[in-house]
Structure 1
Amino acid sequence: MRAHLPILPILIPFAAALLQMAWNRLAWQRAIGLCASVLLLFASAWLTALSDDGLLRVYALGDWPAPYGIVLVVDRLAAMMTLLCAILGLATLLYASAGFDERGQHFHPLFQLQLVGLCGAFLTGDLFNLFVFFEVMLLASYTLLAHGGGMARTRAGISYVVLNLIGSALFLIALGLLYGTLGTLNLADMASRLTQTGHDAALPRLAFALLLAVFALKAGLLPLSFWLPPTYGAAGAPVAALFAIMTKVGIVAILRVQAVALAPAMPDLLAGWLTTLALATIVFAALGALTADRLRAMAAWLVLLSAGSLLLVPAATDERAVAAAIYYLLQSTLTGAAFFLIAGIVAVQRGDCGDDFRAGPPTATWVKLAFLVVAASSAGLPPFAGFVGKLMLLSALRQTAAGAVTWIVLLGAGFLVMAALARQGCILLWKRPLERPPQPTAAVNWQRATATLLLVAAAPLLAILAGPLSDYAQRTASQLQTPGAYVAGVLGARAAATGHGAR
């Protein structure tokens, strides 16, 4: 069983999707989906625990070794991201099973296919299969975005589809250029060939520049970020909560490609421009949060702000900065997802007022407390995980070339977010209309409450566990920033369907 553990995060949701398509009754689909999500959580947690020994686990499908066959590569970063995906998947599916899944057909199989794409993107060891898993993830997300109908979702879906089709075309062009010049798409093999003399660097540089543009589009880097706030703001609450990790797919891909292939052979490819655009993205997102008219729209802007903060790191090529980014990625993803679920509950409890920032019916006390916790963490206030993550980022980026500007932008953005959350939160949760008496608060069923509180609990819990988590992040960054070990592990591991690993 342990030998085949690396492929389980892909097989479990894929098998669940097939079963759900065979049994079309909603009750069966819910049961299968929740059972599969629990199994995925256990499998990814086990994989994360095993990966902390520092071994690189290479799983060769069909016993074809790299670089000729399809390989899955599990290190600390890949295992951690599959665990994060499993946590989000279970929480959002539990929330959706309270009635959101009844608003359209095929929600559950598409949800599981979305998990297949996400987990596969984190685990794959070659760029072509990264493209394949991107497409699986995006095809499922197109329909999930439109689930429930509505003109706003249709408009957002059209722009989302068009931009991602352009991104897919650029991805294929980049892959063609890389294969034509290097003769491989396996990331480890590519890295070893790039460092060899005799290769014309112009075409590979162009190909990697296209790849980085595609990953930046997925991550929401300015000027490719205009699609993200309206898309995430229009999606249903559980769908938007799951989408909170989709921007991180692009960021992790940039970190991986930068560490393994670019840092040894093209260390200057990210210099300057990525940091500048990341800072511009942070400012753009903070101003967007300040002008948001709905809680869900504000949550979307905060997801974009976290993406911009994380994209400050790849150009820094510093191990401490990467470790800080890993911790920040964990807390910002869970906090952002919690924000979307809270917005969904607020919309239900306020009836016609929805989650608009205007006076309306009261919300439950626990919803107000949950909002305060998530808002404080998003603004980077102590004692929550957002404060720890931002402090780690500021400390790590202090010595970089743009350290002073980075501090000003991050602290200024935090102040704007804090002002926006304080002002709009007071209107949303405490201001009552004068012309009519308060309406009774609608009850929240246990699935939605449980799913939301599980994600809200991450803000204090990750702060309490900041010591061991930051140590894990440091080990993860150290492993990621050692490309020679990655290349040797992938190309030197023989047929790891038998479970062999390489340091």
Structure 2
Amino acid sequence: MTHALILPILLPLFMGSLLLVLHRLEKPAKRVLSLLATFVLVPVAVWLLLLAGDDQLRIYALGNWQPPFGIILMLDRLSALMLLVTAVLAAGAVLYASRGDDARGPNFHALFQFQLVGINGAFLTADLFNLFVFFEILLISSYALLLHGNGAARVRAGVHYVVLNLLGSAFFLIGVSMLYGLTGTLNMGDLAVRISIADAADGPLLAAAGFLLLIVFGLKAALLPLYFWLPSSYASATAPVAALFAIMTKVGLYAILRVFTLLFGSAAGSLSFMANDWLWPLALLTVAAGVIGALAARGLQVLLSYLVIVSVGTLLAGIALGTEQGVSAALYYLVHSTFVAGGLFLLADLIGRQRGDSETRLVVAPALRQPLLLGALFFMGAISVAGLPPFSGFIGKVMLLSAVAPGIQAWMLWSVLLVGGLGMVIALSRAGSLVFWLPSESAPVGAPADPVRLIAAASLLLGSLVLVIWAQPLQAYAQSTASQLLDLGPYLQIIQGEGA
């Protein structure tokens, strides 16, 4: 048992607690501590990714209570990948925030670290109740981060966000309670075994519990019709918070992939893959709804929020295929969409700072101080998020379109993704024209972009180029991750004490 598995939880937990205890520290000292803790997570995540590369499942039993009785963390390829994506995204977001956005309210860095505790814990836990606990940690932190900086728009969006997620938490607890009452366990591996041998009479109740969890995870992931909280929340949040929130929908998608592959996967008998018939149409409808919202957007941040919804639907389509090729395509696209969305939210703030009172509204405004630099970054991000060559979005979509077998599914997926891609190109072209090509005759009113903020935004956007350069090893890792996920044998053996 290696103690490295718990570091992604302990590092931000201790740093967040320390920042609260030392809340009277000067702002520069808080920034240094937060940056240090967040940047250390990157090599830790790389280390865990390398450990997971041998395809061996590793468990960490807190208090040495072995599964299925204790609090168990589990590292596989999927959780290691999600930890690395989170660490890189968080590093860019906290670097951007440290140039002044963290001063808009108290305890930003402590809340940021606690948010990472919840996200990393959700990716590592092998217990359904602890997944609920980590969901609550990240949600409580996200409530406060969403309101950071005050303002009527943030309060209004925050109320909607809180109410809907409290309802989701209640459904989560009900679903978890039903599963525990029927099986007597909440360890995911043990649950998978007990669901596979459950009495037929318990089947309807187990299915009801599973669908309750699907509703909860769908709310977190922002699926149609549960996505209405996202555009206003992401658009009203400060730029570094919105960038970090790019991983939040992926937590919901991760939970769908984990639970409905392991608990209700191939070993679940009559309940095997029970969610797939629902996930497929929901995925396509979510893509369509996101594109329509993007076309109707009147602000750059709202537009980007709807593009997050499009990425959610695209990812879910790969998961809903239920094949190794579909899941591997979804995982590659997940990494791409997270980095590009985070970078675009930061870039939108940089653009808004140079447009005077118009900020990020899609109206004619004074010329930007740095139109060529910001325009080049926006063009790169727009091409990538729309899925056009030569950036990573194109590779991800090609992988996904290649994963679907010929037939009605292929016809539906190709139609939705290609038409949706055209809609995104139109929406982004309109936004780029208003921001960069149709300035008013007024002289520029904004100051040049802060170099550190610019580096943070550009670094995340350049991740799209990195994903192209390293496409082959990343595709191989995604393929191996999908293969490991769909091979349930090693996961089921964990409860017999055979995990390492």
For the 8 Å contact 1:218–1:246, the answer to whether it is kept is yes
Residue pairs, 1:102-121, within 5 angstroms: 102-121=103-122
> What is the aligned partner in structure 2 of residue 284 from structure 1?
289
For the 8 Å contact 1:338–1:452, the answer to whether it is kept is yes
Give 1:204 shift.
0.9
Give 1:353 shift.
1.4
Letter matched to residue 420 of structure 2: A
Letter matched to residue 170 of structure 1: F
> What is the aligned partner in structure 2 of residue 253 from structure 1?
255
SS of 1:418's equivalent in the other structure is helix
Matched residues in 2 for 1:353 and 1:274: separation?
A: 39
For the 8 Å contact 2:319–2:330, the answer to whether it is kept is no
Matched, 1:407 2:414: yes
Matched residues in 1 for 2:44 and 2:273: separation?
A: 38
Give 1:226 shift.
0.8
Matched, 1:444 2:444: no
Matched residues in 2 for 1:35 and 1:7: separation?
A: 18
> What is the aligned partner in structure 2 of residue 427 from structure 1?
434
Matched residues in 1 for 2:293 and 2:167: separation?
A: 25
Matched residues in 2 for 1:342 and 1:37: separation?
A: 21
Change in 2 beyond 3 A, CA 1:443/1:71: same
> What is the aligned partner in structure 1 of residue 335 from structure 2?
330
> What is the aligned partner in structure 1 of residue 305 from structure 2?
300
Matched residues in 1 for 2:446 and 2:16: separation?
A: 37
Matched residues in 1 for 2:309 and 2:407: separation?
A: 23
What do residues 408-428 of structure 1 show as CA deviations (whole Å, max 9, x unaligned)? 011110000001111221111
Give 1:450 shift.
1.1
Deviation above 4 Å: which 4+ runs of structure 1? Answer: none
Matched, 1:55 2:56: yes
Give the counterpart of 1:493 among 481, 490, 497.
497
For the 8 Å contact 1:398–1:407, the answer to whether it is kept is no
Matched residues in 2 for 1:462 and 1:308: separation?
A: 21
SS of 1:105's equivalent in the other structure is coil
> What is the aligned partner in structure 2 of residue 457 from structure 1?
462
Give 1:28 shift.
1.7
> What is the aligned partner in structure 1 of residue 18 from structure 2?
19
Matched residues in 1 for 2:340 and 2:405: separation?
A: 25
Matched residues in 1 for 2:407 and 2:220: separation?
A: 26
Matched, 1:148 2:153: no
Matched residues in 2 for 1:381 and 1:185: separation?
A: 43
Matched residues in 2 for 1:58 and 1:101: separation?
A: 36
Change in 2 beyond 3 A, CA 1:447/1:205: same
Matched residues in 1 for 2:435 and 2:275: separation?
A: 42
> What is the aligned partner in structure 2 of residue 202 from structure 1?
204
What do residues 51-72 of structure 1 show as CA deviations (whole Å, max 9, x unaligned)? 1011101000000011100000
For the 8 Å contact 1:146–1:235, the answer to whether it is kept is yes
Higher mean alpha-carbon deviation, 8-17 vs 442-451, is at 442-451
For the 8 Å contact 1:237–1:340, the answer to whether it is kept is yes
Matched, 1:167 2:173: no
Letter matched to residue 202 of structure 1: P
What do residues 469-496 of structure 1 show as CA deviations (whole Å, max 9, x unaligned)? 10010000000111111111x21336xx
Letter matched to residue 495 of structure 2: L
Change in 2 beyond 3 A, CA 1:182/1:480: same
Matched residues in 2 for 1:230 and 1:409: separation?
A: 25
> What is the aligned partner in structure 2 of residue 382 from structure 1?
389
Letter matched to residue 83 of structure 2: T
Higher mean alpha-carbon deviation, 326-335 vs 393-402, is at 393-402
User: Could you tell me the TM-score, scaled by structure 2's length?
Assistant: 0.96
> What is the aligned partner in structure 2 of residue 85 from structure 1?
86
Matched residues in 1 for 2:418 and 2:146: separation?
A: 33
Matched residues in 1 for 2:126 and 2:312: separation?
A: 23
**Greater relative CO (CA pairs within 8 A, separation 6+):** 1
What do residues 218-265 of structure 1 show as CA deviations (whole Å, max 9, x unaligned)? 001111111111111111111000001000001011111111111221
Matched, 1:354 2:359: yes
What do residues 31-62 of structure 1 show as CA deviations (whole Å, max 9, x unaligned)? 11000011111111110111101110100000
Matched residues in 1 for 2:221 and 2:407: separation?
A: 22
Higher mean alpha-carbon deviation, 358-367 vs 385-394, is at 358-367
Letter matched to residue 213 of structure 2: L
Change in 2 beyond 3 A, CA 1:401/1:191: farther
For the 8 Å contact 2:38–2:91, the answer to whether it is kept is yes
SS of 2:60's equivalent in the other structure is strand
> What is the aligned partner in structure 1 of residue 374 from structure 2?
367
Give 1:446 shift.
2.2
Give 1:313 shift.
2.6
> What is the aligned partner in structure 2 of residue 241 from structure 1?
243
For the 8 Å contact 1:19–1:32, the answer to whether it is kept is no
**Length, aligned pairs only:** 492
**How large is the RMSD of aligned CA atoms in angstroms?**
1.3
Matched, 1:262 2:264: yes
Matched residues in 2 for 1:293 and 1:464: separation?
A: 35
Matched residues in 2 for 1:282 and 1:451: separation?
A: 28
For the 8 Å contact 2:353–2:446, the answer to whether it is kept is no
Matched residues in 1 for 2:52 and 2:149: separation?
A: 39
SS of 2:263's equivalent in the other structure is helix
Letter matched to residue 89 of structure 1: A
What do residues 6-32 of structure 1 show as CA deviations (whole Å, max 9, x unaligned)? 000000000110111122222221111
What do residues 342-401 of structure 1 show as CA deviations (whole Å, max 9, x unaligned)? 111011111211011112233312211110000000111100000001111111124475
Change in 2 beyond 3 A, CA 1:100/1:192: same
Matched residues in 1 for 2:47 and 2:437: separation?
A: 44
> What is the aligned partner in structure 1 of residue 45 from structure 2?
44
Letter matched to residue 215 of structure 1: F
What do residues 130-175 of structure 1 show as CA deviations (whole Å, max 9, x unaligned)? 0000000000000100111111111100000000000000000001
What do residues 194-219 of structure 1 show as CA deviations (whole Å, max 9, x unaligned)? 11153521111110110011000000
Higher mean alpha-carbon deviation, 271-280 vs 149-158, is at 271-280
For the 8 Å contact 1:259–1:482, the answer to whether it is kept is no
> What is the aligned partner in structure 1 of residue 75 from structure 2?
74
User: Could you tell me the TM-score, scaled by structure 1's length?
Assistant: 0.96
SS of 1:361's equivalent in the other structure is coil
Unaligned runs of 5+ in 1: 495-499
For the 8 Å contact 2:404–2:410, the answer to whether it is kept is yes
Matched residues in 2 for 1:215 and 1:28: separation?
A: 37
Change in 2 beyond 3 A, CA 1:32/1:414: same
> What is the aligned partner in structure 2 of residue 497 from structure 1?
none
> What is the aligned partner in structure 2 of residue 3 from structure 1?
2
SS of 1:359's equivalent in the other structure is coil
Matched residues in 1 for 2:316 and 2:184: separation?
A: 30
Give 1:441 shift.
4.1
Matched residues in 2 for 1:15 and 1:467: separation?
A: 37
What do residues 71-119 of structure 1 show as CA deviations (whole Å, max 9, x unaligned)? 0000010011011110011100000000000000111100000000000
